[in-house]
Structure 1
Amino acid sequence: MTTSTKPKRLTTSAMIASFADPGQRTSSAPFGHALAALAESDQRVVGLTADLGKYTDMHVFAEAHPDRFFQMGMAEQLLFGAAAGMAEVGLVPFASTYSVFAARRAYDFLCLDIAEPGLNVNIVGGLPGLTTGYGPSHQATEDIAIFRGMPNLTIVDPCDSVDIEQAVPQLAASDGPTYLRLLRGKVPTVLDEYDYSFRLGEAAVLRGGRDVVLISSGLMTMRALQAAEELAAHNVDVAVVHTPTIKPFDARTVLAEVDTDRLVVTLENHTVVGGLFETVASAAVRAGLSRRVVPIGLPDEFLAAGALPTLHDRYGLSRDKIVETVLAGLA
């Protein structure tokens, strides 16, 4: 009898693939740990999920506070309806599902059960934008566009583990509903190097620069910072403005950076339709600023399936593609 020496094939799920770079500092499940910690000091906090606890890091909360965790099954409308009822009686629910399901399947329940009465329900959406290679059924490339028009709803697009950990208690303390574009699993830790702290509703200038200003949200702030370092080798001095809160939008801080003679570029892990680019452009027009704004974001189309590095490069979200776009804009 012979024993096979064929090596075991290693596989990675495209559903929960990490966008962290090799060797990059990361924090494991920052949302789940932050929510569990918050619940220690606030007995009103409860967690719900639509059969996606493991894939939204809600399982960390469930293990720490099983008596305050509710598994609603694959029923997003029920998830939001139950969360609304809990908020009505004074609880502070965090309800997790995938962003595509929250935006496409349960919009009306979020709108009329939660947003219209202004309830403190916090929707946590996993797999925002191009953070999965599973294709259009799971890539929430238009969730901000869908939700921006909903009155009363606060929209947060965090960059890293620092943003998420600091955002959770502020979302719980804020009036009305919130939508958090969740980064889950091994999430990069980036912003602690920039004397930064998350403040709900505020943008932050992470670094100054005389030639270009990059206005970014979500994981694209990490890419913007990386691109800024690489562009320095081309003698291009780049400022980076992080806008973790998309709605309400901090127009004052952002427009102060737009209103110069520098090249202005927006970067978002979202379609260029209805997201950060159009938010910045609209704010500039309302303020009477006549400035060109170059968008870096996902195209107005259904995206391909595949490995995240390949997809990010194909659709212009990678560091190298950002550098190319900026240099072309300066030419």
Structure 2
Amino acid sequence: MNRTQRRSWRGIPAAPQDPSKPRLTTSAMIASLAGADQRTSPAPFGRALVELGRTRPEVLGLTADLAKYTDLHIFAQAHPDRFYQMGMAEQLLMLAAAGLAHEGFVPFVTTYAAFASRRTFDFISQGIAEEGLPVKICCALPGLTTGYGPSHQATEDVAIFRGMPDLTIVDPCDALDIEQAVPAIAAHDGPVYMRLLRGNVPLVLDEYDYRFELGRAKRLRDGGEVLIISSGFMTMRALEVAKRLEADRIGAAVLHVPTIKPLDEATILAEAGRTGRMVVVAENHSVIGGLGEAVATLLLRSGVIPPRFRQVALPDAFLDAGALPTLHDRYGISAEAMSANIKGWLG
């Protein structure tokens, strides 16, 4: 019984599948983070990997029974001879990828972030990172991007992986970020962990003349009262919040940090060092061990002390199950909650 069958057994309907009609659509079980009127792009990871595979025959796709739920099924349809379904065996998945990397391949591995960080940490550390192998671990459901509950909510994945030597960590914002990050991490000579948005992914960064560069943070807009340093889809929220604050005559700058490790220290220090601005770090991750603590440590170590420093992050707790909009409001990472908190902090 695979995961889809088990979900159906639990009373959750599985999406109908017709293998004779491959489409760029995803299951109805995959909730989108996009608002009602927001532009989206379907399966940007899968489509970008297909394009990469056309010019790089060494690129492979591997998954542990989750091709459809990580958008890797699109690569499997386009390049079936380079796709490997490993079944519900995540530890085997990582070591198989390591073996293929030893033979000169560039494996892209997909699963859920909770499974990669909790179940396979030692296998990634000893089999992939210590060997410096070019395995790209791309994981869906990072942070609070599912209402399934604590078993699937990887709210501590960045904290777990930040301590692993030589592992690059990428947290893209939207469809454009993902599409551009795929070839960039493939070109990187080493292991990468990328937090993955799936299904119909919001598209926002094309409005800001943005281009992904591994290891580089990018200022998307400027403002004099508050600097929001963000990663992942929280950059999308930060941009929305900045527009709301602008309507109240509060200038908010947004610095997008798609690479959490290694951190773009020079850019962060330059932005945070501008006098008079409160610094807010916004992340789809626990308040423990993520981007917020990384930025705070950097500022303290470098002697750059902003007037006020605050975090918008998930609590150090096992979170509830439920509808994503409700959960995002409850835990303070919706645009409405974030705007209210920043106004309160500004006094």
TM-score by length of 1: 0.95
Q: Say if 1:99 and 1:143, in contact at 8 Å, map to a contact too.
A: yes
Separation in structure 2 between the aligned mates of residue 214 and residue 290 of structure 1, nearest angstrom: 15
The answer to whether the Cα contact below 8 Å between 2:170 and 2:194 also exists between their aligned partners in 1 is yes
Give the SS at the match of 1:86: helix
Judge which range, 13-22 or 56-65, deviates more. 13-22
Query: What residue is the counterpart of 2:204 in the other structure?
Result: 190
Instruction: Show CA shifts across 1:289-311 (max 9, x none).
Output: 22332000100000000000000
What code does the residue aligned with 2:99 have?
G
Structure 2, unmatched stretches of 5+, are: 1-12, 16-26
Give the one of 319, 328, 347 matched to 1:303. Answer: 319
Amino acid at match of 1:90: G
Question: Which of 290, 315, 321 is the aligned partner of 2:337?
Answer: 321
TM-aligned CA deviation for residue 17 of structure 1: 1.1
Q: Which position in structure 1 is the counterpart of 2:276?
A: 261
Quote the offset at 1:261 in angstroms: 1.4
Aligned-residue identity in percent: 62
- Residue in structure 2 matched with residue 208 of structure 1 by the alignment: 222
Once the two structures are TM-superposed, the CA of residue 161 in structure 1 deviates from its matched residue by 0.4
Give me the whole-angstrom Cα distance separating, in 1, the residues matched to 2:53 and 2:33.
Answer: 29
> Residue by residue, what CA displacement relative to the aligned partner does 1:85-128 show, whole Å, maximum 9, x if unpaired?
00001000000000000000000000000000100000011100
Residue in 1 that maps onto 2:292: 277
Identify unmatched segments of 5+ residues in structure 1. Answer: 1-9
CA deviations on 1:220-245 (whole Å, 9 max, x unpaired) are 00000000001111110110000000
Does 2:167 correspond to 1:153? yes
State the 1:15 CA deviation: 5.2
The number of residue pairs the alignment matches comes to 322
| Kept in 2: contact 1:216–1:268 (CA 8 A) | yes
CA distance in 1 between counterparts of 2:314 and 2:305 reads: 24
1:46 is displaced (CA, Å) by 0.3
CA offset at residue 57 of structure 1?
Answer: 0.2
**Map of 2:47 onto structure 1:** 33
Distance in structure 2 (CA, Å) of the matches to 1:300 and 1:147: 17
Post-superposition shift, 1:287? 0.6
1-structure distance, mates of 2:272, 2:262: 18
Match of 1:233 in 2: 247
One-letter amino acid matched to 1:127: L
- Alpha-carbon distance between aligned partners in 1 of 2:58 and 2:85, rounded to the nearest angstrom: 17
Equivalent residue in structure 1 for 2:231, among 217, 221, 229 = 217
SS of 1:46's equivalent in the other structure is strand
Runs of 4+ in 1 over 3 A off after TM superposition: 10-15
Q: Read off the aligned partner of 1:105 and give its amino acid letter.
A: R
CA distance in 2, matches of 1:184, 1:192: 18
The offset of 1:14, in angstroms, is 8.7
**What are the superposed Cα offsets for residues 14-67 of structure 1, whole Å, 9 maximum, x if unpaired?**
952111100210000000000010000001000000000000000000000000
Q: Please give the residue correspondences for 1:85-100 in structure 2 after superposition, counting only pairs within 5 Å.
A: 85-100=99-114
**More deviation in 258-267 or 283-292?**
283-292
- Aligned partners of 2:303, 2:252: CA distance in 1, in Å? 24
SS at match of 1:109: helix
Task: Return the alpha-carbon distance in structure 1 between the equivalents of residues 136 and 305 of structure 2.
Answer: 37
In the alignment, the residues of structure 1 paired with residue 148 and residue 111 of structure 2 have an alpha-carbon distance, to the nearest angstrom, of 16
State whether residues 46 and 94 of structure 1, in contact with CA within 8 Å, keep that contact through their aligned partners in structure 2: yes
TM-align CA RMSD = 1.3
